[in-house]
Structure 1
Amino acid sequence: MGALAALGPLAIDMYLPSFPAIVEGLNTTQGQVERTLASYLFGMALAQMIYGPLADRYGRKPPLLGGLIIFTIASVGCTLTGDIEHLTLWRIAQAFGGAAGMVIPKAVIRDNFSTRDAAKAMSLLMLIMGVTPILGPILGGQILLFVGWRGIFGLMAIGGALLLLASLLTMRETLAPQNRAPLRVSSIAGNYWQLLRDRQFICFSLSGACGSAGLFTYISGTPRVVMGVYGVAPTYFGFIFGLGAAALILAAQVNARLLDRHTTEKLLKLALISVVVSSAAALALTLLGLLTLPLLMVCLMGFMASQGFVNPNAAALALSRQGMRLGVASALMGTLQMLFGALAGLAISQWQSDTALPLTGILAISTVLSWLFGRIGLRAA
């Protein structure tokens, strides 16, 4: 489930280092190549809303297999494309396939586990899901050196094909026949409307979505600050960038262990405080002109470690009461995370500064909103 959940996020930014090579190879502009990323994010957000009802009606396995087939074919199309227009279309198709891996694993986890055990499983899911967008560009940069930008998409195709084979041979269906929901427009619309009115679900989902906005802020803003503001050479940037990934991995595993002795609600409450403190400290140091690179990394690692607690616990609590509409609930939660992440990435790309203020400012806004929605969700729970 972790590998499936990583597939879509990996395809988001694994090809980022190859932008200049794609510009040259397809005789296009940087802006047109960047729009292939926006197209992917849009497709990913929209497709998740489709997979949810399908997973609740036909079970978890058939929609997943269909999505993996689409992803693999689209990845081959990206590899062989000859112009930027077709690359954009294949990226949208790739997003529609990869979105299955964003929706189905969360529903499978809730099919099998109670709230506390689901939070532990979500922590293990976070191990791969959270670190994939961070390590994706590093991996893509290394692949680019040996096989070029087409090889990056070729590797995505191989990954999709292997996961398709593994799911086909080893995955069992986890949705009981009596829990299958009818596939009617009125029923689907009703489920989404009820979810939007469910204070516990929507607040925990928004808390996780704002946390995802902070994660995309880290991904988008750290390269500019570390290399542009503090002058770190690109050779060493990957190591500094990876410190946040290490903090996220470690914290997610600690969270899984602590859930044996503490409630999901207690850990989320403490993590929401920690995530605000770390980002607020970074913003204050920036405004006072005292932010050095070591202090920035301490604050960012604090934020990433806190996210290792916030995301899995918020997701488990959001899905804890959804019963027969787990697929729809997982889809809506994933869509919110993708939309908020895209908005944060857009905001930091538009906010130009020769300081770390765009990074620390948007990070602080994201974490305060995450704390606010999380607190409301805890009261509702």
Structure 2
Amino acid sequence: MAARRLSHGPSAAPGSTEPYGGRLGLVLLLGSLVALGPLTTDMYLPALPAITSELHASPAAVQLTLTGALAGLALGQVLVGPLSDAIGRRTPLLAGVTVHIVASALCLLAPDLAVLDVLRVSQGLGAATSTVITMAIVRDLFDGAAVAGLLSRLMLVLGVSPILAPTLGGIVLARSSWRGVFAVLAVLSLVIIVAAAYALPETLPDERRRTGGLPSTLRDFTRLLGDRAFVGLILLAGLAMSTIFAFVSGSPFVFQGHFGMSEQEFGYAFGLGALGLVLAGRLNVRLLRRRSPTQVMTRSFAAAAVAGGLLLTCATTGFGGMAGTFVPLWLVLFTVGFTLPNASALALSRHGEVAGTAAALLGALQFGIGAVTAPLVGVIGTGPAAMASVIALTLAIAVVVLVAVVRPWRLTTNG
């Protein structure tokens, strides 16, 4: 792995080129940071009925608290990414997690839904900081295939977290009220900020920081959006993430409502879906030793599209029953576990000089497309065909973007 030298802040070990804890410590810390966003949006999902009852609100109104968190995540990344390119990674990161701690603690005291809505947006803004700066830190420290290798582990966390978060929320709810979920999020954020303050030095040296204020930031955005391949790659990453959102939002209705699974059986099925992402993330790291990120991304998107087509066929015809839906769905999640980290790594590798701004656009698009995809499944219906249609359509669009926009046979990195 090619690693760059760190700019030592107050938490760097004297004479060291890595944070305290070495490479493993770095992966664990960055993984916890990147998980904060999905945990913020999804951990409280099992509590929605309880919130609806206690705050005397309609289900549709309570759903807006999820929309608010996703909006905060998307907006926050666009704001914080360029800021971190100008002043460094460490200060915005610590400030953002602090905002998340305060917002989570105040959610415990929310007297009504309007206050909770505002606090959820604030939570999203704080969590966005950890997500976008984590991606920028990876680009600060590593080059080439090393970026894809580390992003495989981080995207694994980003992909699995939305799936496991509701389960964690259910465990908390079994021992507390819905307010207890926000207490856990506040404590988790507190642990993360202490670890980051102690173990993570500044990774962006002064000589690589951007100057020029708002005009310079606008020029950076314009340059990034003018890079056809970069736009295509962040679209691919967003479309890959949207299949996970479609699975998370649609699978309870499909496997419990349509196929009659018990809550325990559905938990096992949900866990198997997460296992597919875990296995892909592990295999991707090994595969990158023999293949380039472009090769892995291209072939895995093709395989994902085939699996999506098979899922749609089985779901609409009823072929194979529950197994006919679950097996191709698992294959979709497995292949997405390869596409997501490699598309993200290739996008960030093109513009290392504005890694924060590039990561901001990447993250904002991922959560933005996901925010549209999740409710779209419910709008279409609650059966297998609705979830399968959204997934298959998403993957078909991804193949078109891959061929017509990204053009992997011409793909190069700009450093």
Alpha-carbon deviation of 1:218? 0.6
Aligned residue identity for 2:101: T
TM-score (norm 2): 0.90
Q: Aligned to 2:388, which of 357, 360, 371?
A: 360
Residue 115 (structure 2) pairs with residue 86 (structure 1): yes
C-alpha distance in structure 1 between counterparts of 2:320 and 2:364, whole Å: 34
1:126 and 1:249 in contact (8 A); partners too: no
Counterpart in 2 of 1:224?
Answer: 253
Q: Does structure 2 retain, via aligned residues, the 8 Å contact 1:282–1:360? A: yes
User: Which residue in 2 is equivalent to 1:274?
Assistant: 303
Unaligned runs of 5+ in 1: none
Q: Is residue 316–residue 384 contact of structure 2 (8 Å, CA) maintained in 1?
A: no
| 3-state secondary structure, aligned to 1:175 | coil
Alignment equivalent of 1:328, drawn from 336, 357, 365: 357
| TM superposition shift of 1:188 | 1.0
Number of aligned positions between the proteins: 380
1:131 partner SS: helix
Deviation at 1:292, TM superposition (A): 1.5
Instruction: Tell me how far apart the structure 1 counterparts of residues 138 and 116 of structure 2 sit (CA, whole Å).
Output: 34
Instruction: Provide the C-alpha distance between the structure 1 equivalents of 2:348 and 2:126, rounded to a whole number of angstroms.
Output: 23
Q: Secondary structure at the match of 1:80?
A: coil
2:398 maps to 370
Q: Which residue of 2 aligns with 1:108?
A: 137
Give the Cα separation in 1 of the matches to 2:243 and 2:119. Answer: 28
1 CA distance for matches of 2:157 and 2:352? 26
Give CA-to-partner distance per residue, 1:36-66, whole Å, 9 cap, x none: 1111111111111001111100111111001
For 1:30 and 1:266, how far apart are their aligned partners in 2? 45
Distance in 2, matches of 1:44 and 1:331, equals 10
| Partner deviation per Cα, 1:114-138 (whole Å, 9 max, x = no partner) | 1201000001112211100000111
Q: Distance in 1 between matches of 2:402 and 2:139?
A: 20
Match of 1:246 in 2: 275
Letter in 1 for 2:258: V
Q: Distance in 2 between matches of 1:270 and 1:60?
A: 34
Which of 71, 79, 97 is residue 50 of structure 1 equivalent to?
79
Where 2:270 maps in the other structure, the secondary structure is helix
Q: CA deviation at 1:242?
A: 1.1
Give the match for residue 151 of structure 1: 180
For the Cα contact (< 8 Å) 2:304–2:335, is it kept in 1?
Answer: yes
CA positional deviation for 1:197: 1.1
Structure-to-structure mapping, 1:305-316, within 5 angstroms: 305-316=334-345
For the 8 Å contact 1:8–1:95, the answer to whether it is kept is: yes
Whose helix proportion is higher, 1 or 2?
1
Identity %: 34
**How far apart are 1:286 and its partner, in Å?**
2.3
Secondary structure class of the residue paired with 2:350: coil
SS at match of 2:210: coil
Please name the residue that 1:66 is paired with.
95
Distance 2:232 2:156 in 1: 23
Do the aligned residues in 1 keep the contact of 2:89 with 2:133 (CA within 8 Å)? yes
Following TM superposition, by how much is the alpha carbon of 1:280 offset from its aligned partner in structure 2, in angstroms?
0.5
- 8 A Cα contact 2:318 2:324, kept in partner: no
Structure 2: 5+ residue stretches without partners: 1-29
**Larger deviation, residues 17-26 vs 50-59:** 17-26
- C-alpha distance in 2 between matches for 1:73 and 1:313: 35
Q: Does residue 260 in structure 1 map to residue 283 in structure 2?
A: no
Q: 2:155 aligns with which of 126, 144, 147?
A: 126
Distance 1:146 1:300 in 2: 33
TM-score normalised to structure 1 length: 0.97
**How far apart, CA to CA, are the structure 2 residues paired with 1:262 and 1:379?**
14
Deviations 1:128-186 (A, max 9, x none): 11100000111101110101111100000001111111111110111121110025221
Is 1:298–2:327 an aligned residue pair? Answer: yes
Q: Contact 1:127–1:249 at 8 Å: present in 2 too?
A: yes
Paired amino acid for 2:384: A
Cα distance between partner residues in 2 of 1:26 and 1:285: 41
SS at match of 1:147: coil
| Structure 1 counterpart SS, 2:276 | helix
Residue 170 (structure 2) aligns with: 141
* 3-state SS of 2:289 partner: coil
1:222-264 CA distances to partner (integer Å, 9 max, x unpaired)?
Answer: 1111011111112221111111100001111100111112111
SS of 2:57 mapped into structure 1:
coil
Structure 2 equivalent of residue 168 of structure 1: 197
1:192 corresponds, among 208, 216, 221, to 221
Deviates more, 1:183-192 or 1:325-334: 183-192
Aligned-residue CA RMSD (Å): 1.2
1:295 deviation in Å?
2.0
Q: Does 1:96 align with 2:128?
A: no
- Cα deviation for residue 291 of structure 1 reads 4.4
Residue identity in the other structure for 1:144: L
